A and B are shown apart, each in its own frame.
Chain A
Amino acid sequence: MSSIFEVKNLKFKYKNNQENVLKGINFDIKEGEIFGFLGPSGAGKSTTQKVIIKILEDYQGQILYKQKDLKDYKQDFFEDIGVSFEMPIHFSKMTAIENINFFQNLYKKKADVEKLMKRVGLWEDKDKMVAEYSKGMKIRLNIVRALLNSPTMLFLDEPTNGLDPSNAKILKDLIREFKNSGGTVFITSHIMSDIDQLCDRVAFIVNGEIKEIDTPRNLKIRYGQRQVKVEYRDNNKLIEKSFSMENLGNNNEFMEILKAKDIETIHSGETTLEDIFIKVTGVTLDDEQ
């Protein structure tokens, strides 16, 4: 798979700040994948998104989009991409459909708005003022906004933040469908379960530096303590023990417990992305203090 984005040694500093917010990060986004960008608050996720969508321009390093320097793209770059920012943004004194139509007419390519709005459950409320929308509705409208030009690449900053589980599911399905139809997605989040379900690869960013990039599966294997946890009763006392999964069948203590004891629970301890997140990001947070 070829890369749609290549980011090389990217550094970025906000004007009023002393220090670089992004401290020389490297990653690429493959065509057709969902690439997750994870990190604690203030790590530089939104900043990275804003740099690679050409909003923040005074960066150091190199960014290639479709093998061409991002700086060589003009405003028509935006024909190609769809963006959803962290906060929902609309004209509050216009209706949802007026908002969507206004923006859509600025693009050459146009998606089927009715279909999209039905999909996220907003078609019924399309003639309501956005001011009367709930937060979740505004977030859903944000997604419609990001998709209204049938982009080839989608950038989503914390898209499920503030959505109830069923709407979050609709959104995740929408993102998957977008991928299945050939689209590429860059998504930032700190909701690990979403990322785990959606992303082909994830990057962990901590304090402006990328600490890990891999598939969720590989990360779990690498960081996972493949263990089995057993709880059993012994003389009416509850005892808990963990065993490595390696060669478990030959572990005598484990086998003895299985044979002789009254087992209450038994779990295989698969590491979640959340555990890995804490492991990868926690280290640096400790160092800071």
Chain B
Amino acid sequence: MMNNRLIYLIKGELIRLHKYKVTSVSFLIALIWLIVLYFVDGNIFNDLLPLLILVDSTMMSLMYIGSVMFFEKKESTMSSMLVTPARNSELILAKILSNTIHNLLSTALIIIVFVIVKNVEVNYILIFLAIVFSTLYHTTIGLLLSYYQKDFTTMLMTVMMISFLLLIPAVLFSINVLKSDIWEYILLINPIQAANEIISQSFKPINLDWKYYFSFLYLVISGLFIYKFLVLKQFKNYAISISGV
């Protein structure tokens, strides 16, 4: 599936993320988190780090792809892409994968620093997988959301609303405000909760339970479904509608 053109397109997207200063913004945010977390003490820190990584790989993923799509819309560049030999699936995958790589880097930065400075114990393979799949999933969702947003402000509002709607219950659950078993099951269909499960279970001590596997499969399967039947299918109409020519 990985072909040369896709890799070329991903490279192009990453260069543009840099040129359009998205990279600078995300590293600045990572830096702010680093400073904040550095001064937080032991117990809270252990709860806060997974939470921060959760926010970074879910909400921030939605935000970044949202703003990227907004830039693109403003410049109508999508129509130029439509008249090249590049396939729609390649254009979309390039967007999703480049944003995933980009977000992965800033998240990795935070983790690496804390592994070094605060001796955080984390399973590298699990946390890598967790961040990649959470980010992939939420970037895909963010792309889909951007199809329906007319301007930057509504885009931000929608992203905020959706992420808070999904994020807050997940957080309340993980800090034991929502306690009953029913919540445990209801929240399983919440992708941010799924991300929460696979991220928090990547920190030591590792003890993967059925919720881990369920969440993982849930993100992969529903993510593929959303990509194939919603994002890919509606892409061309969306691209034409923003082409403005």
Contact = CB atoms under 8 A, between A and B. Distances in A.
Interface of A: 15, 46, 50, 53, 55-57, 75-76, 78-79, 81, 83, 85-87, 89-94, 102-103, 105-108, 145, 157
Contact of B245 (A89, A92, A93, A94): A89
A89 B12 contact: no
B6 to A, nearest CB: 11
Nearest to A15: B237
7 contacts: A46-B245, A50-B245, A53-B83, A87-B76, A91-B75, A107-B84, A145-B80
Interface in B1-50: 5, 8, 12, 16, 19-20
Main secondary structure on chain A at its contact with chain B? loop
Contacts of A87: 76, 244-245
B78 to A, nearest CB: 9
A92 B72 CA distance: 10
Most buried by B among A78, A81, A89, A107: A89
B223 to A, nearest CB: 25
Interface in B45-85: 75-77, 79-80, 82-85
Contacts of A81: 83
What interface size band does chain B fall in?
A: 20 to 34
Nearest to A83: B83
B84 A78 contact: yes
B16 A91 contact: yes
A93 to B, nearest CB: 5
B113 interface: no
Q: Which 3 A-B pairs have the closest CB atoms?
A: A85-B245, A106-B84, A83-B83
A55 B85 contact: no
B203 to A, nearest CB: 39
A155 to B, nearest CB: 9
B76 A89 contact: yes
A107 B84 CA distance: 7
A94 to B, nearest CB: 6
A160 to B, nearest CB: 16
Contact of B16 (A78, A89, A94, A106): A94
Interface string B201-245: 000000000000000000000000000000000001100100111
